[in-house]
Amino acid sequence: MSAQTSVTTVYKVTGMTCGHCEGAVSAEISELDGVSSVKAAAATGEVTVTSAAPLDEEKVRAAVDEAGYELTGTA
């Protein structure tokens, strides 16, 4: 069994309409432990998060909420 070096999860976020929105969501999620990269796309409403291990979805939801948006699930 090989060790997994990272996990990539795509979350659906509502309310993002511009680059500022993407930045706000990315900044909040980036502060979570283990997150190595975040790419938010307002056009698709998707946020791609790469982390060292699977993230607690409630922590991701709280970070998105803090940014002023709503996590609606995973894509």
pLDDT, tens digit, for every residue of 23-37? 999 999 999 999 999
Mean pLDDT along residues 31-55: 97
What is the spatial distance between Cα 31 and Cα 15, in angstroms, rounded to a whole number? 20
Query: The domain spanning residue 58 has which CATH number?
Result: 3.30.70.100
Quote the longest CA-to-CA distance of the chain.
42
Residue 43 covered by a domain:
yes
Q: Are 30 and 49 in contact (CB under 8 A)?
A: no
What is the spatial distance between Cα 62 and Cα 4, in angstroms, rounded to a whole number? 26
Residue 1 covered by a domain:
no
pTM here is: 0.91
Q: Are 25 and 40 in contact (CB under 8 A)?
A: yes
Residue 66 covered by a domain:
yes
Residue 37 covered by a domain:
yes
What is the spatial distance between Cα 71 and Cα 16, in angstroms, rounded to a whole number? 11
What's the structural domain count of the chain? 1
